[in-house]
Homo-oligomer: A and B are copies of this chain.
Amino acid sequence: MSVHRDIRSPTQDCGECPIRHRAVCARCETDELAQLEQIKYYRSYQAGQTVIWSGDKMDFVASVVTGIATLTQTMEDGRRQMVGLLLPSDFVGRPGRSAAAYDVTATTDLVMCCFRRKPFEEMMASTPHIAHRLLEMTLDELDAAREWMLLLGRKTAREKISSLLAIIARRDASLKEPRADLGAITFDLPLTREEMADYLGLTLETVSRQMSALKRDGIITLDGKRHVTIPSVDALMEETGDDSDGGFLV
């Protein structure tokens, strides 16, 4: 139990768990919640499978254990906007609300754990550090959403693509050992061109064109369609339009 105590400490690794992500080790947290006997069941989804349909009851709380899910809003005429990425340790659900406004879909193979609703609410009251952590996570997501609003409202297509690549690269890099040498970074895109387009408020053609342009300009290298190498992180960051001093590894 002791390794789980410091659940809020940033990028902490318990030393036993292979998953390490963002502010907390997801498995540790899940384990702790399981020990508190709050987890009702685990459930697996295949890539592409729908977790929640828009309009479904949302009377539950669940958390991503492994894999990636996306959160999408759709307009009547079919225009779609992705509004969130759910990564390991992220929560979905809104007990007390009757309906969801968006679809949740598995992008990769996905494992989620579902909580017992009533005990969860009691736990919220009785276990302050969990309640506090939920608030912190929600505030983080709000900050991320606000950064996306800037991207969606004011950035050019090239800046949007660069920003997305930078974000994925950063997340990917944070999973590996932090290295002094950030010369080159390589990763696989977890999204199709269409999903990227939905994320960025573009069409898939524009995404494809801008990826080609970045390749032509030497900002990225493509091996196949999904495998991306960034020879110079600095050069990529130049393209994002963001303040340059932001620092790549947070």
Contacts and interface: CB of A to CB of B under 8 A. Distances in A.
A167 interface: no
Nearest to A54: B243
Interface stretch (A33-41, A44-52, A127-135, A175-183): A127-135
Nearest to A124: B132
Contacts of A141: 142
A142 B143 contact: no
Contacts of A243: 76
Contact of A152 (B94, B101, B143, B149): B149
8 smallest CB-CB distances across A and B, nearest first, come from A153-B201, A152-B152, A125-B128, A83-B146, A145-B145, A81-B150, A81-B153, A79-B154
Interface string A133-173: 01100110111011111101110000000000000000000
24 contacts: A73-B147, A73-B149, A75-B154, A79-B154, A79-B241, A80-B154, A83-B149, A101-B146, A124-B132, A124-B135, A125-B129, A125-B132, A126-B128, A128-B131, A135-B135, A135-B138, A141-B142, A145-B145, A145-B149, A149-B149, A152-B153, A153-B200, A153-B201, A154-B201
A84 interface: yes
A146 B102 contact: yes
A71 interface: yes
Contacts of A153: 81, 152, 200-201
